[in-house]
Structure 1
Protein backbone atom coordinates (compact mmCIF):
# COMPACT_ATOMS: atom_id res chain seq x y z
CA UNK A 1 0.00 0.00 0.00
CA UNK A 2 1.43 3.37 -1.00
CA UNK A 3 0.66 5.66 1.94
CA UNK A 4 2.63 8.87 1.98
CA UNK A 5 1.05 11.86 3.70
CA UNK A 6 -0.90 14.02 1.27
CA UNK A 7 -3.96 15.90 0.23
CA UNK A 8 -5.69 17.26 -2.86
CA UNK A 9 -8.75 18.60 -4.52
CA UNK A 10 -9.77 17.79 -8.07
CA UNK A 11 -11.55 21.07 -8.58
CA UNK A 12 -14.95 19.53 -7.86
CA UNK A 13 -17.11 18.44 -4.97
CA UNK A 14 -17.48 21.89 -3.41
CA UNK A 15 -13.82 22.68 -2.68
CA UNK A 16 -13.00 26.32 -3.11
CA UNK A 17 -9.98 26.12 -5.42
CA UNK A 18 -8.99 23.78 -8.23
CA UNK A 19 -6.81 20.91 -7.14
CA UNK A 20 -6.25 21.93 -3.52
CA UNK A 21 -7.28 23.60 -0.27
CA UNK A 22 -9.17 26.87 -0.54
CA UNK A 23 -6.70 29.75 -0.34
CA UNK A 24 -7.33 31.82 2.81
CA UNK A 25 -7.27 35.59 2.82
CA UNK A 26 -4.59 35.82 5.51
CA UNK A 27 -1.85 38.24 6.44
CA UNK A 28 1.85 37.79 5.77
CA UNK A 29 2.18 36.65 9.36
CA UNK A 30 -0.43 33.99 8.71
CA UNK A 31 1.52 32.77 5.72
CA UNK A 32 4.68 32.31 7.79
CA UNK A 33 2.83 29.91 10.06
CA UNK A 34 1.93 27.56 7.23
CA UNK A 35 3.05 24.02 7.57
CA UNK A 36 5.44 22.01 5.46
CA UNK A 37 4.24 18.48 4.85
CA UNK A 38 6.92 15.94 5.73
CA UNK A 39 6.15 13.21 3.20
CA UNK A 40 5.62 12.85 -0.53
CA UNK A 41 2.15 14.26 -1.26
CA UNK A 42 -0.17 12.80 -3.91
CA UNK A 43 -1.24 15.74 -6.09
CA UNK A 44 -2.98 16.63 -9.32
CA UNK A 45 -1.58 18.91 -12.02
CA UNK A 46 -4.44 21.34 -11.33
CA UNK A 47 -3.41 21.59 -7.68
CA UNK A 48 0.19 22.35 -8.59
CA UNK A 49 -0.69 24.90 -11.26
CA UNK A 50 -3.13 26.71 -8.95
CA UNK A 51 -0.88 26.66 -5.86
CA UNK A 52 0.04 30.04 -4.39
CA UNK A 53 3.71 31.05 -4.40
CA UNK A 54 5.58 32.81 -1.58
CA UNK A 55 9.23 33.40 -2.53
CA UNK A 56 10.45 29.97 -3.67
CA UNK A 57 7.77 28.01 -1.82
CA UNK A 58 4.40 26.81 -3.08
CA UNK A 59 1.24 26.30 -1.05
CA UNK A 60 -2.10 24.60 -1.47
CA UNK A 61 -4.05 26.30 1.26
CA UNK A 62 -1.94 26.06 4.42
CA UNK A 63 0.29 23.17 3.33
CA UNK A 64 3.60 23.66 1.55
CA UNK A 65 4.02 21.56 -1.59
CA UNK A 66 7.54 20.31 -1.04
CA UNK A 67 7.90 16.80 -2.46
CA UNK A 68 4.98 15.56 -4.54
CA UNK A 69 3.87 12.72 -6.78
CA UNK A 70 1.55 12.88 -9.78
CA UNK A 71 0.28 10.28 -12.25
CA UNK A 72 -0.54 11.21 -15.82
CA UNK A 73 -0.07 10.69 -19.55
CA UNK A 74 3.07 11.91 -21.32
CA UNK A 75 1.87 13.95 -24.29
CA UNK A 76 5.18 15.54 -25.37
CA UNK A 77 8.90 14.81 -24.94
CA UNK A 78 11.90 17.05 -25.65
CA UNK A 79 15.43 15.71 -25.14
CA UNK A 80 18.81 17.39 -24.63
CA UNK A 81 22.15 16.03 -23.32
CA UNK A 82 21.47 17.39 -19.82
CA UNK A 83 17.69 17.37 -19.50
CA UNK A 84 14.52 15.68 -20.67
CA UNK A 85 11.39 17.84 -20.71
CA UNK A 86 7.97 16.20 -20.57
CA UNK A 87 4.42 17.46 -20.69
CA UNK A 88 2.26 15.34 -18.39
CA UNK A 89 -1.55 15.47 -18.47
CA UNK A 90 -3.75 13.94 -15.75
CA UNK A 91 -6.99 15.47 -17.11
CA UNK A 92 -7.57 17.67 -14.04
CA UNK A 93 -6.26 20.82 -15.70
CA UNK A 94 -3.73 21.98 -18.30
CA UNK A 95 -0.69 19.73 -18.91
CA UNK A 96 2.21 20.23 -16.49
CA UNK A 97 5.86 20.52 -17.52
CA UNK A 98 8.15 17.96 -15.86
CA UNK A 99 11.93 18.37 -16.06
CA UNK A 100 14.27 15.43 -15.51
CA UNK A 101 17.96 16.35 -15.35
CA UNK A 102 20.28 13.73 -16.83
CA UNK A 103 23.90 13.27 -17.88
CA UNK A 104 23.61 11.92 -21.40
CA UNK A 105 26.50 13.62 -23.18
CA UNK A 106 28.77 11.73 -25.56
CA UNK A 107 31.28 10.82 -22.82
CA UNK A 108 28.67 8.70 -21.02
CA UNK A 109 28.50 5.07 -22.24
CA UNK A 110 25.22 4.26 -23.98
CA UNK A 111 24.12 1.63 -21.40
CA UNK A 112 24.49 4.20 -18.59
CA UNK A 113 22.40 6.91 -20.22
CA UNK A 114 18.88 7.60 -18.99
CA UNK A 115 16.43 6.81 -21.77
CA UNK A 116 13.51 9.15 -22.31
CA UNK A 117 10.04 7.77 -21.75
CA UNK A 118 7.84 7.77 -24.84
CA UNK A 119 4.78 9.84 -25.61
CA UNK A 120 1.41 8.25 -24.79
CA UNK A 121 2.96 6.48 -21.78
CA UNK A 122 1.34 6.78 -18.36
CA UNK A 123 3.91 7.65 -15.72
CA UNK A 124 4.21 8.26 -11.99
CA UNK A 125 6.42 11.26 -11.24
CA UNK A 126 8.16 12.01 -7.94
CA UNK A 127 9.64 15.49 -7.65
CA UNK A 128 9.58 19.03 -6.33
CA UNK A 129 7.51 22.01 -7.48
CA UNK A 130 9.48 24.80 -9.17
CA UNK A 131 8.87 27.94 -11.22
CA UNK A 132 11.11 29.00 -14.10
CA UNK A 133 10.48 32.06 -16.24
CA UNK A 134 7.09 32.45 -14.59
CA UNK A 135 6.05 28.95 -15.66
CA UNK A 136 5.20 26.31 -13.07
CA UNK A 137 6.90 22.91 -13.41
CA UNK A 138 8.04 19.85 -11.49
CA UNK A 139 11.70 18.83 -11.25
CA UNK A 140 11.62 15.04 -11.14
CA UNK A 141 13.97 12.92 -9.07
CA UNK A 142 12.23 9.73 -10.19
CA UNK A 143 9.87 8.73 -13.01
CA UNK A 144 8.28 5.28 -13.22
CA UNK A 145 6.11 4.00 -16.09
CA UNK A 146 2.65 2.88 -14.94
CA UNK A 147 2.33 -0.84 -15.64
CA UNK A 148 -1.19 -1.30 -14.26
CA UNK A 149 -3.87 1.21 -15.26
CA UNK A 150 -5.56 0.66 -11.89
CA UNK A 151 -2.75 2.81 -10.48
CA UNK A 152 -4.22 5.86 -12.25
CA UNK A 153 -7.55 5.41 -10.47
CA UNK A 154 -5.82 4.50 -7.22
CA UNK A 155 -3.76 7.69 -7.32
CA UNK A 156 -6.86 9.87 -7.63
CA UNK A 157 -8.49 8.04 -4.72
CA UNK A 158 -5.28 8.50 -2.76
CA UNK A 159 -5.28 12.23 -3.49
CA UNK A 160 -8.90 12.55 -2.38
CA UNK A 161 -8.41 10.49 0.77
CA UNK A 162 -5.33 12.39 1.90
CA UNK A 163 -7.01 15.75 1.26
CA UNK A 164 -10.02 14.79 3.35
CA UNK A 165 -7.83 13.35 6.11
CA UNK A 166 -5.70 16.49 6.41
CA UNK A 167 -8.75 18.75 6.14
CA UNK A 168 -10.39 16.89 9.02
CA UNK A 169 -7.20 17.07 11.08
CA UNK A 170 -6.81 20.79 10.41
CA UNK A 171 -10.44 21.46 11.40
CA UNK A 172 -10.09 19.53 14.66
CA UNK A 173 -6.84 21.35 15.46
CA UNK A 174 -8.44 24.75 14.86
CA UNK A 175 -11.52 23.94 16.95
CA UNK A 176 -9.39 22.86 19.91
CA UNK A 177 -7.09 25.84 19.62
CA UNK A 178 -4.08 23.55 19.18
CA UNK A 179 -1.47 24.67 16.64
CA UNK A 180 -1.11 22.62 13.48
CA UNK A 181 2.18 20.75 13.22
CA UNK A 182 2.98 19.10 9.92
CA UNK A 183 5.29 16.50 11.44
CA UNK A 184 2.77 15.22 13.99
CA UNK A 185 0.04 15.60 11.38
CA UNK A 186 1.77 13.06 9.15
CA UNK A 187 2.38 10.73 12.11
CA UNK A 188 -1.22 10.86 13.35
CA UNK A 189 -2.81 10.19 9.98
CA UNK A 190 -0.46 7.79 8.27
CA UNK A 191 1.93 6.29 10.82
CA UNK A 192 1.60 3.91 13.72
CA UNK A 193 1.81 6.28 16.67
CA UNK A 194 3.01 3.67 19.16
CA UNK A 195 5.93 2.34 17.15
CA UNK A 196 6.66 5.15 14.69
CA UNK A 197 6.44 2.63 11.86
CA UNK A 198 4.95 3.52 8.49
CA UNK A 199 1.67 1.74 7.90
CA UNK A 200 1.80 -0.76 5.05
CA UNK A 201 5.49 -1.63 5.50
CA UNK A 202 6.75 -4.78 7.17
CA UNK A 203 9.35 -4.77 9.94
CA UNK A 204 12.43 -5.06 7.71
CA UNK A 205 11.15 -2.38 5.32
CA UNK A 206 10.53 -0.01 8.23
CA UNK A 207 13.98 -0.71 9.69
CA UNK A 208 15.68 -0.09 6.35
CA UNK A 209 13.68 3.11 5.81
CA UNK A 210 14.59 4.35 9.30
CA UNK A 211 18.32 3.80 8.71
CA UNK A 212 18.26 5.53 5.32
CA UNK A 213 16.13 8.38 6.67
CA UNK A 214 18.58 9.03 9.53
CA UNK A 215 21.53 9.41 7.15
CA UNK A 216 22.24 13.12 6.57
CA UNK A 217 25.12 12.86 4.07
CA UNK A 218 24.82 14.12 0.49
CA UNK A 219 25.29 10.66 -1.01
CA UNK A 220 22.88 8.98 1.41
CA UNK A 221 23.15 5.56 3.03
CA UNK A 222 24.93 2.73 1.23
CA UNK A 223 23.43 -0.73 1.02
CA UNK A 224 26.59 -2.06 2.70
CA UNK A 225 26.07 0.29 5.65
CA UNK A 226 22.40 -0.67 5.97
CA UNK A 227 23.35 -4.36 6.04
CA UNK A 228 25.95 -3.73 8.76
CA UNK A 229 23.36 -2.01 10.94
CA UNK A 230 20.85 -4.81 10.41
CA UNK A 231 22.97 -7.74 11.57
CA UNK A 232 21.05 -10.96 11.35
CA UNK A 233 18.95 -9.77 8.41
CA UNK A 234 20.05 -11.44 5.14
CA UNK A 235 21.48 -9.06 2.54
CA UNK A 236 18.92 -10.36 0.04
CA UNK A 237 16.09 -9.25 2.37
CA UNK A 238 17.69 -5.81 2.73
CA UNK A 239 17.99 -5.42 -1.05
CA UNK A 240 14.39 -6.54 -1.56
CA UNK A 241 13.25 -3.98 1.02
CA UNK A 242 15.25 -1.24 -0.71
CA UNK A 243 13.80 -2.19 -4.10
CA UNK A 244 10.28 -2.02 -2.65
CA UNK A 245 10.87 1.30 -0.86
CA UNK A 246 12.33 2.77 -4.04
CA UNK A 247 9.45 1.59 -6.24
CA UNK A 248 6.94 3.04 -3.75
CA UNK A 249 8.68 6.44 -3.63
CA UNK A 250 9.88 6.26 -0.02
CA UNK A 251 13.57 6.44 -1.06
CA UNK A 252 15.59 7.27 -4.18
CA UNK A 253 19.09 6.49 -5.45
CA UNK A 254 21.75 9.21 -5.40
CA UNK A 255 25.32 8.83 -6.68
CA UNK A 256 24.75 5.24 -7.83
CA UNK A 257 22.39 2.29 -7.35
CA UNK A 258 24.04 1.42 -4.01
CA UNK A 259 23.33 4.72 -2.22
CA UNK A 260 19.89 5.97 -1.18
CA UNK A 261 18.22 8.88 0.57
CA UNK A 262 14.71 9.05 2.00
CA UNK A 263 12.29 11.33 0.16
CA UNK A 264 11.06 12.72 3.48
CA UNK A 265 14.47 13.26 5.11
Structure 2
Protein backbone atom coordinates (compact mmCIF):
# COMPACT_ATOMS: atom_id res chain seq x y z
CA UNK A 1 0.00 0.00 0.00
CA UNK A 2 1.41 3.37 -1.01
CA UNK A 3 2.25 5.90 1.68
CA UNK A 4 1.82 9.69 1.75
CA UNK A 5 5.32 11.08 2.18
CA UNK A 6 6.65 9.47 5.35
CA UNK A 7 3.10 8.77 6.54
CA UNK A 8 1.58 5.32 6.31
CA UNK A 9 -1.53 4.02 8.03
CA UNK A 10 -3.52 0.97 7.04
CA UNK A 11 -5.16 -0.49 10.16
CA UNK A 12 -8.58 1.00 10.88
CA UNK A 13 -10.09 -1.96 12.67
CA UNK A 14 -11.66 -3.62 9.64
CA UNK A 15 -9.53 -6.67 10.38
CA UNK A 16 -11.34 -9.98 10.37
CA UNK A 17 -14.21 -8.79 8.18
CA UNK A 18 -12.11 -8.81 5.03
CA UNK A 19 -13.76 -12.04 3.91
CA UNK A 20 -17.09 -10.21 4.08
CA UNK A 21 -16.05 -7.65 1.52
CA UNK A 22 -13.39 -5.77 3.46
CA UNK A 23 -10.42 -7.51 1.80
CA UNK A 24 -9.55 -4.38 -0.08
CA UNK A 25 -6.67 -5.66 -2.22
CA UNK A 26 -5.71 -9.24 -1.66
CA UNK A 27 -8.53 -11.13 -3.35
CA UNK A 28 -8.57 -8.91 -6.41
CA UNK A 29 -4.82 -8.94 -6.86
CA UNK A 30 -4.65 -12.72 -6.86
CA UNK A 31 -7.01 -13.06 -9.81
CA UNK A 32 -5.90 -10.10 -11.90
CA UNK A 33 -3.58 -9.91 -14.88
CA UNK A 34 -0.04 -8.56 -14.61
CA UNK A 35 -1.29 -5.11 -15.66
CA UNK A 36 -4.02 -5.21 -13.05
CA UNK A 37 -1.51 -6.30 -10.42
CA UNK A 38 0.55 -3.22 -11.20
CA UNK A 39 -2.54 -1.04 -10.85
CA UNK A 40 -3.61 -2.55 -7.55
CA UNK A 41 -0.06 -2.34 -6.22
CA UNK A 42 -0.50 1.43 -6.37
CA UNK A 43 -3.71 1.32 -4.35
CA UNK A 44 -3.94 3.56 -1.33
CA UNK A 45 -6.31 3.63 1.61
CA UNK A 46 -6.70 7.33 2.25
CA UNK A 47 -8.65 9.02 5.06
CA UNK A 48 -10.81 11.75 3.54
CA UNK A 49 -13.66 14.12 4.25
CA UNK A 50 -16.80 14.20 2.13
CA UNK A 51 -15.93 17.70 0.91
CA UNK A 52 -12.66 16.35 -0.48
CA UNK A 53 -14.62 13.69 -2.34
CA UNK A 54 -17.10 16.18 -3.77
CA UNK A 55 -14.25 18.53 -4.78
CA UNK A 56 -12.15 15.75 -6.35
CA UNK A 57 -10.97 16.68 -9.84
CA UNK A 58 -10.77 14.71 -13.05
CA UNK A 59 -8.54 15.45 -16.05
CA UNK A 60 -11.39 14.67 -18.44
CA UNK A 61 -14.89 13.17 -18.15
CA UNK A 62 -14.61 9.57 -17.07
CA UNK A 63 -11.01 9.86 -15.91
CA UNK A 64 -9.89 8.69 -12.49
CA UNK A 65 -10.74 11.19 -9.77
CA UNK A 66 -7.92 12.96 -7.96
CA UNK A 67 -7.57 14.57 -4.54
CA UNK A 68 -4.61 16.91 -4.09
CA UNK A 69 -3.48 15.91 -7.58
CA UNK A 70 -3.18 12.21 -6.71
CA UNK A 71 -5.44 9.43 -7.90
CA UNK A 72 -7.88 8.27 -5.25
CA UNK A 73 -8.52 4.53 -5.13
CA UNK A 74 -9.69 3.16 -1.81
CA UNK A 75 -10.75 5.52 0.93
CA UNK A 76 -12.12 5.63 4.43
CA UNK A 77 -14.42 8.25 5.91
CA UNK A 78 -16.28 8.79 9.14
CA UNK A 79 -19.73 10.29 9.40
CA UNK A 80 -23.27 10.10 10.74
CA UNK A 81 -26.05 8.17 9.06
CA UNK A 82 -28.81 10.59 8.07
CA UNK A 83 -31.04 8.28 6.03
CA UNK A 84 -31.26 4.59 5.20
CA UNK A 85 -32.74 3.15 2.01
CA UNK A 86 -32.72 -0.68 1.96
CA UNK A 87 -33.25 -2.38 -1.39
CA UNK A 88 -33.15 -5.93 -2.67
CA UNK A 89 -29.52 -5.74 -3.82
CA UNK A 90 -28.04 -3.03 -1.62
CA UNK A 91 -28.52 -0.69 1.30
CA UNK A 92 -27.93 3.01 0.61
CA UNK A 93 -26.89 5.25 3.49
CA UNK A 94 -26.79 9.03 3.28
CA UNK A 95 -23.72 9.99 5.31
CA UNK A 96 -22.95 13.42 6.78
CA UNK A 97 -19.52 14.28 8.24
CA UNK A 98 -20.04 18.00 8.77
CA UNK A 99 -18.39 18.91 5.46
CA UNK A 100 -21.03 17.49 3.14
CA UNK A 101 -23.34 14.61 2.31
CA UNK A 102 -22.72 11.55 0.16
CA UNK A 103 -24.51 8.28 -0.59
CA UNK A 104 -22.79 5.09 0.51
CA UNK A 105 -23.99 1.85 -1.09
CA UNK A 106 -23.36 -1.46 0.66
CA UNK A 107 -24.15 -4.27 -1.76
CA UNK A 108 -25.81 -7.38 -0.37
CA UNK A 109 -23.86 -10.59 -0.94
CA UNK A 110 -26.30 -13.03 -2.54
CA UNK A 111 -24.86 -15.94 -0.58
CA UNK A 112 -25.39 -14.05 2.67
CA UNK A 113 -28.71 -12.41 1.82
CA UNK A 114 -30.74 -14.81 3.94
CA UNK A 115 -28.50 -14.28 6.96
CA UNK A 116 -28.62 -10.51 6.47
CA UNK A 117 -32.40 -10.59 6.42
CA UNK A 118 -32.39 -12.17 9.88
CA UNK A 119 -29.79 -9.82 11.33
CA UNK A 120 -29.65 -6.12 12.09
CA UNK A 121 -25.85 -6.16 11.70
CA UNK A 122 -26.15 -5.15 8.04
CA UNK A 123 -28.21 -2.05 8.85
CA UNK A 124 -27.28 1.06 10.79
CA UNK A 125 -30.02 3.27 12.19
CA UNK A 126 -30.14 7.02 11.47
CA UNK A 127 -27.88 9.12 13.73
CA UNK A 128 -25.39 6.25 14.10
CA UNK A 129 -21.76 7.25 13.60
CA UNK A 130 -20.00 4.85 11.24
CA UNK A 131 -16.66 4.31 9.55
CA UNK A 132 -16.86 3.45 5.86
CA UNK A 133 -14.26 1.70 3.70
CA UNK A 134 -14.78 1.64 -0.04
CA UNK A 135 -14.17 3.04 -3.49
CA UNK A 136 -15.36 6.28 -5.05
CA UNK A 137 -17.75 5.68 -7.92
CA UNK A 138 -19.49 8.01 -10.36
CA UNK A 139 -22.82 7.05 -11.92
CA UNK A 140 -24.99 9.36 -14.03
CA UNK A 141 -22.85 12.30 -12.98
CA UNK A 142 -23.32 11.64 -9.25
CA UNK A 143 -20.59 10.45 -6.92
CA UNK A 144 -21.15 7.81 -4.30
CA UNK A 145 -19.11 5.33 -2.30
CA UNK A 146 -19.25 1.64 -3.09
CA UNK A 147 -18.65 0.30 0.42
CA UNK A 148 -16.55 -2.80 1.08
CA UNK A 149 -17.19 -2.60 4.80
CA UNK A 150 -19.07 -0.39 7.28
CA UNK A 151 -18.86 -0.54 11.04
CA UNK A 152 -20.34 1.46 13.89
CA UNK A 153 -18.15 3.83 15.90
CA UNK A 154 -18.21 3.23 19.64
CA UNK A 155 -15.81 5.99 20.72
CA UNK A 156 -16.53 9.52 19.46
CA UNK A 157 -12.81 10.29 19.71
CA UNK A 158 -12.47 8.29 16.50
CA UNK A 159 -14.48 10.97 14.69
CA UNK A 160 -12.10 13.71 15.80
CA UNK A 161 -9.10 11.51 15.13
CA UNK A 162 -10.24 10.85 11.58
CA UNK A 163 -10.65 14.54 10.79
CA UNK A 164 -7.16 15.24 12.14
CA UNK A 165 -5.74 12.33 10.18
CA UNK A 166 -7.40 13.46 6.94
CA UNK A 167 -5.95 16.93 7.51
CA UNK A 168 -2.50 15.51 8.19
CA UNK A 169 -2.49 13.39 5.03
CA UNK A 170 -3.64 16.41 3.01
CA UNK A 171 -0.76 18.48 4.40
CA UNK A 172 1.82 15.74 3.83
CA UNK A 173 0.58 15.29 0.27
CA UNK A 174 0.62 18.98 -0.62
CA UNK A 175 3.48 20.32 1.50
CA UNK A 176 5.74 17.34 2.09
CA UNK A 177 6.63 15.38 5.19
CA UNK A 178 7.21 17.24 8.48
CA UNK A 179 10.77 18.44 8.84
CA UNK A 180 11.38 18.27 5.09
CA UNK A 181 11.64 21.00 2.49
CA UNK A 182 7.97 20.94 1.63
CA UNK A 183 6.22 19.49 -1.39
CA UNK A 184 8.97 20.65 -3.73
CA UNK A 185 11.31 18.04 -2.23
CA UNK A 186 8.60 15.45 -1.64
CA UNK A 187 8.82 13.75 -5.00
CA UNK A 188 6.59 16.21 -6.82
CA UNK A 189 3.80 16.29 -4.25
CA UNK A 190 0.31 17.68 -4.58
CA UNK A 191 1.55 21.24 -5.20
CA UNK A 192 2.71 20.23 -8.67
CA UNK A 193 -0.46 18.60 -9.93
CA UNK A 194 -2.32 19.69 -13.03
CA UNK A 195 -4.64 21.93 -11.06
CA UNK A 196 -1.80 24.39 -10.42
CA UNK A 197 -3.01 26.37 -7.42
CA UNK A 198 -5.82 23.97 -6.55
CA UNK A 199 -3.97 22.66 -3.49
CA UNK A 200 -5.20 24.08 -0.22
CA UNK A 201 -1.66 24.49 1.15
CA UNK A 202 1.46 24.89 -0.94
CA UNK A 203 4.99 25.48 0.32
CA UNK A 204 7.32 27.76 -1.51
CA UNK A 205 5.22 30.85 -2.22
CA UNK A 206 6.94 34.16 -1.51
CA UNK A 207 3.75 35.93 -0.43
CA UNK A 208 2.92 37.05 3.09
CA UNK A 209 2.10 34.43 5.64
CA UNK A 210 5.27 32.37 5.69
CA UNK A 211 4.48 29.54 3.24
CA UNK A 212 0.73 29.95 2.62
CA UNK A 213 -0.36 29.15 -0.89
CA UNK A 214 0.51 32.10 -3.10
CA UNK A 215 -1.07 30.35 -6.08
CA UNK A 216 -4.25 29.94 -4.07
CA UNK A 217 -4.18 33.52 -2.84
CA UNK A 218 -3.84 35.13 -6.28
CA UNK A 219 -7.17 33.57 -7.25
CA UNK A 220 -8.87 35.44 -4.41
CA UNK A 221 -10.46 38.87 -4.74
CA UNK A 222 -8.43 42.01 -4.02
CA UNK A 223 -10.15 42.62 -0.64
CA UNK A 224 -9.37 39.03 0.38
CA UNK A 225 -5.72 39.44 -0.63
CA UNK A 226 -5.53 42.72 1.27
CA UNK A 227 -7.04 41.17 4.39
CA UNK A 228 -4.77 38.15 4.22
CA UNK A 229 -1.60 40.22 3.95
CA UNK A 230 -2.76 42.47 6.78
CA UNK A 231 -3.35 39.46 9.03
CA UNK A 232 -0.04 37.88 8.05
CA UNK A 233 1.95 41.00 8.90
CA UNK A 234 0.09 42.35 11.93
CA UNK A 235 -1.76 39.37 13.41
CA UNK A 236 -0.71 37.40 16.45
CA UNK A 237 -1.71 34.16 18.07
CA UNK A 238 -5.10 35.60 19.04
CA UNK A 239 -5.75 37.07 15.60
CA UNK A 240 -7.23 40.43 14.60
CA UNK A 241 -10.84 41.52 15.07
CA UNK A 242 -12.85 42.33 11.96
CA UNK A 243 -13.21 46.00 13.01
CA UNK A 244 -9.43 46.33 13.39
CA UNK A 245 -8.93 44.75 9.97
CA UNK A 246 -11.35 47.27 8.47
CA UNK A 247 -9.55 50.16 10.14
CA UNK A 248 -6.12 48.91 9.10
CA UNK A 249 -6.98 48.12 5.51
CA UNK A 250 -9.54 50.89 4.81
CA UNK A 251 -12.05 48.24 3.76
CA UNK A 252 -15.64 48.36 4.92
CA UNK A 253 -16.74 45.84 7.53
CA UNK A 254 -18.94 44.21 4.90
CA UNK A 255 -15.96 43.84 2.59
CA UNK A 256 -13.89 42.37 5.40
CA UNK A 257 -16.66 39.92 6.33
CA UNK A 258 -16.93 38.77 2.70
CA UNK A 259 -13.15 38.54 2.41
CA UNK A 260 -12.99 36.45 5.58
CA UNK A 261 -15.56 34.01 4.22
CA UNK A 262 -13.61 33.77 0.97
CA UNK A 263 -10.30 33.12 2.72
CA UNK A 264 -11.95 30.62 5.04
CA UNK A 265 -13.26 28.73 2.03
CA UNK A 266 -9.70 28.55 0.69
CA UNK A 267 -8.40 27.24 4.00
CA UNK A 268 -6.14 30.24 4.51
CA UNK A 269 -7.58 31.72 7.72
CA UNK A 270 -9.44 30.60 10.83
CA UNK A 271 -11.34 32.18 13.71
CA UNK A 272 -9.68 32.38 17.11
CA UNK A 273 -11.23 33.82 20.29
CA UNK A 274 -14.60 34.53 18.64
CA UNK A 275 -16.34 34.38 15.26
CA UNK A 276 -15.13 37.85 14.25
CA UNK A 277 -11.45 37.50 15.12
CA UNK A 278 -9.25 36.04 12.39
CA UNK A 279 -5.71 34.74 11.94
CA UNK A 280 -3.83 33.18 9.05
CA UNK A 281 -3.73 29.41 9.25
CA UNK A 282 0.05 29.01 8.97
CA UNK A 283 0.97 31.98 11.19
Taking structure 1 as the reference length, the TM-score comes to: 0.49
Taking structure 2 as the reference length, the TM-score comes to: 0.46
Structure of greater relative contact order (alpha carbons < 8 Å, 6+ residues apart):
1
